[in-house]
């Protein structure tokens, strides 16, 4: 077999791609190919295995491995000699990343990025890992040693490669299999909530230990359970998490926005990249927590977070970009950290107040420099002092703007923007910011304009003027959920129609005969293993989001088939009892279906009563528009104004209370329900 052929150019092909991550590697001496049928065909024709490398633009260790190995001509020569080398942007092709990350877990390895996998020409994994150093270190071989070893094993022991590939293929099939069970009753939800509470850090908030991730799906579930189980400990866990994060170094105290995670147990030193998905979910979490407990810190951080989105994350067309990098000038966190001398130079005699408030010392709190934080003094200062600190922060931000900025991945992702739209719609009501609802509508409109496919489905990514990558379950579910959030906020029927259309598209193209839904569509041509899961990761699972959409559509329309679909989606996974604690979005959807409330508002399209309903501390509340044109089967049928005044009707499990005409009375009902 030939090492190269005329149809397989001996050069790097990533310069023809649009992904910022792939373009970061376009000048490597490695003969990279993008993922697809052409790369696998090259492997088949040459007899070479595939070296698959998966990462993303804001990934620090991806940059490290690139500099150490992929930019090294000697290492690149080994890669080019023995492998067909394929680069994947995990944000552009998350279904590919998830399939091979699952394979890595089946090997008993811990996941992470960069993901390094070795595949047969048929795309079957047979060996893998994550980051490999340039020299033997930490008990790992050097990357060059690994390359030589895998290449030799592939040539000399094809039977072993085939056996390992078959075992992993079987394991992946089992992971995607249905695990049917019953709809979880309240005692099951209680048991899951208590299990989560049992691993909370009672001082710093979040899960015990380090590193610390925000895990928003878990805390959104806890806020819902605080209402359902009448257990204040559930809400207190979420509130503690938010307070500690909002004052920790994971929050950018100058520019706004949360970093992806904290490397320590106290939220002090972040891994400095900022992701849209984290910030979208945390904005919604701040709104839900504020709806229950009017903590001014939550309102302040929400306003600053939205300001950051608008200032730094706007992408083409009016949607939001994917992420900001951790590194600048080749150094992690350089853009964000300060020495005491730099603070004095920026603020002069007023530096002392700032340094005391934000933990700035001569020795620093991280590698000789300072991550700004208020963890040591989290309580608000007197109003005059807080105002002075605000002015000092503005001056510090102006100085920071003169630094070399981290790179931005400006591709637009449908699912992440869907999370942002839903969060903005919720926050607009809770914080009484109608301008944020305008932003939510703008982002939604931009994503739909950029991502809509001719057959009514959505694309996943958009950059450089055109859509990239086929739409996934997560895209359709997240945008349908966003459409429902806008429908409930505005009463406009068009948003409801869009949500129904995308939910039906999921039924046509993603549904499994065994229940639940695959992440990739039935006509996805370059996906070797279709993934089906309800496990939440940093983002909610597609099955969990779609179950919420289906349950919400049932409450909004009264159509029983949505309830049946939601029940089937949830039940496809609940047989995995040991895994229920990592499926909080699915469990929250089950609770919404079975015990969720609805508020029918009559006599106003989007007035004070609707706004009061949207401020419910319980996420499992649907807001309906009542009107004389509704069919008798609709849950809001027959409900009208009272004595000529707009009225709201709170209903749960098929029973409705007496109408109220004052927003404060409705809020009282919602808090007591």
Residues 52 and 158 grouped into a single domain = yes
Is 1 a residue whose pLDDT tops 50?
no
pLDDT, average across residues 487-501? 96
- The CB-side HSE value for 242 (13 A sphere, CA atoms) comes to 32
The reported pTM is 0.94
Residues 480-493 pLDDT 10s: 999 999 999 999 99
Residue 423 belongs to some domain of the structure: yes
Q: If you ran DSSP here, which 8-state letter would residue 203 be given?
A: T
Q: What is the signed CA dihedral for 489, 491, 495, 497, rounded to 10 degrees?
A: 140
Is 216 a residue whose pLDDT tops 90?
yes
Is 2 a residue whose pLDDT tops 50?
no
Residues 157 and 305 grouped into a single domain = no
Is 90 a residue whose pLDDT tops 90?
yes
Is 522 a residue whose pLDDT tops 90?
yes
Residue 642 belongs to some domain of the structure: yes
Asked whether the beta carbons of 11 and 31 are under 8 A apart, the reply is: yes
Residue 377 belongs to some domain of the structure: yes
Residues 583 and 630 grouped into a single domain = no
What pLDDT is attached to residue 520?
96
109 pLDDT band (50/70/90 cuts)? confident
Phi, psi at 421, each rounded to 5°: -65, -50
Return the percentage of the chain with pLDDT > 90, whole number: 85
Query: How buried is residue 235: exposed, middle or buried, by Cβ count under 10 Å (0-12/13-18/19+)?
Result: buried
- Which residues have C-beta within 8 Å of that of residue 114, sequence separation ≥ 6? 53, 54, 55, 59, 61, 62, 65, 130, 131
Phi, psi at 666, each rounded to 5°: -65, -45
Write out the two tokens for 617: 């501390």
Last residue of a domain, one of 546, 574, 595: 595
Alpha carbon distances (Å) from 182 to 188, 259, 524, 579, 583: 11, 38, 31, 14, 15
Question: Which segment of 204-213, 624-633, 659-668 scores lowest on mean pLDDT?
Answer: 624-633
How far apart are the C-alpha atoms of 556 and 144, rounded to whole Å? Answer: 58
Is 673 a residue whose pLDDT tops 70?
no
When divided into structural domains, the chain yields a total of 4
Is 357 a residue whose pLDDT tops 50?
yes
633 pLDDT band (50/70/90 cuts)? confident
Residue 579 belongs to some domain of the structure: yes
Residues 103 and 227 grouped into a single domain = no
Last residue of a domain, one of 376, 402, 428: 402
| Continuous segment of H or E residues that includes residue 24 | helix 20-24
Residues 296 and 433 grouped into a single domain = yes
Residue 4 belongs to some domain of the structure: no
The CATH number of the domain where 96 resides is what?
3.40.30.10
What pLDDT is attached to residue 5?
47
Residue 2 belongs to some domain of the structure: no
Residue 180 belongs to some domain of the structure: no
State the alpha helices, DSSP H only, in 296-413. Answer: 296-312, 340-347, 351-357, 383-400
The CATH number of the domain where 237 resides is what?
1.50.10.10
pLDDT, average across residues 147-163? 91
Residue 352 belongs to some domain of the structure: yes
Q: Nearest 5°: CA angle at 622, between 618 and 293?
A: 25
Q: If you ran DSSP here, which 8-state letter would residue 347 be given?
A: H
| Alpha carbon distance, N-terminus to C-terminus of the chain | 71
Residues 468 and 374 grouped into a single domain = no
pLDDT, average across residues 275-302? 97
Residues 155 and 272 grouped into a single domain = no
Residues 288 and 428 grouped into a single domain = yes
What pLDDT is attached to residue 488?
97
Residues 655 and 508 grouped into a single domain = no
Residues 209 and 144 grouped into a single domain = no
Residues 158 and 113 grouped into a single domain = yes
Write out the two tokens for 424: 């903005």
Asked whether the beta carbons of 246 and 298 are under 8 A apart, the reply is: yes
Residues 311-354 pLDDT 10s: 999 998 999 999 999 999 989 999 999 999 999 999 999 999 99
What Rg, from alpha-carbon coordinates, does the chain have?
A: 26
Alpha carbon distances (Å) from 448 to 12, 117, 249, 279, 458: 33, 34, 35, 21, 8
Range of the domain at 516: 186-328+409-595
Residues 372 and 425 grouped into a single domain = no
Is 671 a residue whose pLDDT tops 90?
no
Asked whether the beta carbons of 258 and 245 are under 8 A apart, the reply is: yes
How far apart are the C-alpha atoms of 155 and 282, rounded to whole Å? Answer: 49
Q: If you ran DSSP here, which 8-state letter would residue 316 be given?
A: G
How far apart are the C-alpha atoms of 83 and 144, rounded to whole Å? Answer: 13
Last residue of a domain, one of 544, 577, 595: 595
């Amino acid at each position: 077999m030939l090492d190269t052929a005329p149809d397989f150019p001996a050069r790097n092909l990533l310069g023809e791609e649009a992904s910022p991550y792939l373009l970061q590697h376009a000048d490597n001496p490695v003969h990279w190919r993008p993922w697809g049928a052409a790369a696998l065909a090259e492997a088949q024709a040459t007899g070479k295995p595939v070296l698959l490398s998966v990462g993303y633009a804001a990934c620090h260790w991806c940059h490290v491995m690139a500099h150490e190995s992929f930019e090294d001509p000697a290492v690149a020569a080994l890669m080019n000699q023995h492998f067909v080398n394929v680069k994947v942007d995990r944000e552009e092709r998350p279904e590919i990343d998830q399939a091979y990350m699952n394979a890595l877990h089946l090997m008993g390895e811990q996941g992470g990025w960069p993901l390094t996998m070795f595949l047969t020409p048929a795309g079957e994994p047979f060996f893998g890992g994550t980051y490999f150093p340039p020299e033997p270190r930490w008990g790992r071989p050097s990357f060059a040693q690994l390359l030589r070893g895998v290449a030799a094993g592939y040539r000399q022991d094809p039977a072993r490669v085939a056996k390992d590939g078959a075992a992993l293929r079987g394991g992946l099939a089992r992971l995607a299999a249905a695990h049917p069970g019953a709809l979880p009753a309240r005692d099951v939800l209680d048991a899951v909530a208590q299990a989560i509470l049992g691993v909370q850090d009672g001082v710093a908030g979040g899960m015990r230990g380090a590193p610390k991730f925000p895990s928003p799906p878990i805390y959104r579930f806890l806020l819902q359970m605080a209402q359902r189980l009448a257990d204040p400990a559930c809400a207190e866990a979420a509130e503690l998490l938010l307070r500690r994060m909002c004052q920790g170094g994971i929050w950018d105290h100058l520019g706004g926005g949360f970093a992806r995670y904290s490397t320590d147990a106290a939220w002090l030193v972040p891994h400095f990249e900022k992701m849209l998905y984290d910030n979208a979910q945390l904005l919604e979490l701040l709104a839900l927590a504020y709806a229950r407990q009017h903590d001014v810190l939550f309102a302040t951080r929400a306003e600053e977070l939205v300001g950051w989105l608008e200032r730094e994350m706007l992408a083409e067309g009016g949607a939001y970009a994917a992420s900001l990098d951790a590194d600048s000038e080749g150094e992690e966190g350089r853009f964000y950290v300060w020495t005491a001398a730099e603070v004095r130079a920026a603020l002069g005699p007023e530096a002392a107040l700032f340094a005391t408030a934000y933990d700035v010392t001569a020795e620093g709190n991280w590698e000789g420099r300072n991550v700004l934080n208020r963890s040591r003094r989290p309580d608000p200062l007197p109003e005059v002092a807080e105002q002075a600190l605000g002015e000092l922060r503005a001056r510090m931000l102006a100085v920071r703007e003169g630094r070399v900025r981290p790179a931005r991945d400006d591709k637009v992702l449908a699912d992440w923007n869907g999370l942002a739209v839903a969060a903005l719609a919720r926050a607009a009501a809770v914080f009484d910011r109608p301008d944020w609802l305008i932003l939510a509508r703008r982002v939604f409109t931009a994503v739909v304009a950029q991502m809509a496919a001719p057959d009514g489905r959505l694309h996943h990514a958009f950059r450089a003027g055109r859509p990239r990558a086929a739409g996934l379950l997560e895209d359709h579910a997240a945008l349908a959920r966003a459409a429902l959030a806008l429908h409930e906020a505005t009463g406009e029927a068009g948003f409801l129609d869009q949500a129904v259309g995308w939910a039906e598209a999921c039924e046509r193209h993603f549904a499994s005969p065994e229940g639940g839904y695959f992440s990739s569509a039935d006509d996805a041509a370059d996906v070797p293993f279709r993934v089906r899961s309800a496990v939440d990761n940093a983002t909610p699972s597609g099955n969990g989001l779609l179950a919420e959409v289906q349950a919400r559509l049932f409450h909004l329309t009264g159509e029983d088939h949505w309830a049946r679909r939601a029940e089937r989606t949830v039940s496809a996974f609940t047989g995995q009892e040991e895994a229920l604690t990592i499926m909080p979005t699915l469990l929250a959807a089950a609770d919404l279906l079975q015990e969720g409330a609805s508020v029918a508002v009559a006599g106003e399209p989007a007035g004070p009563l609707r706004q009061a309903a949207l401020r419910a501390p319980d996420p499992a509340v649907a807001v309906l528009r009542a009107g004389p044109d509704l069919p008798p089967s609709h849950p809001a049928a027959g409900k009208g104004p009272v004595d000529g005044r707009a009225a709201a009707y709170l209903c749960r499990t098929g029973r409705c209370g007496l109408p109220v005409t004052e927003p404060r009375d409705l809020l009282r009902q919602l808090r007591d329900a």
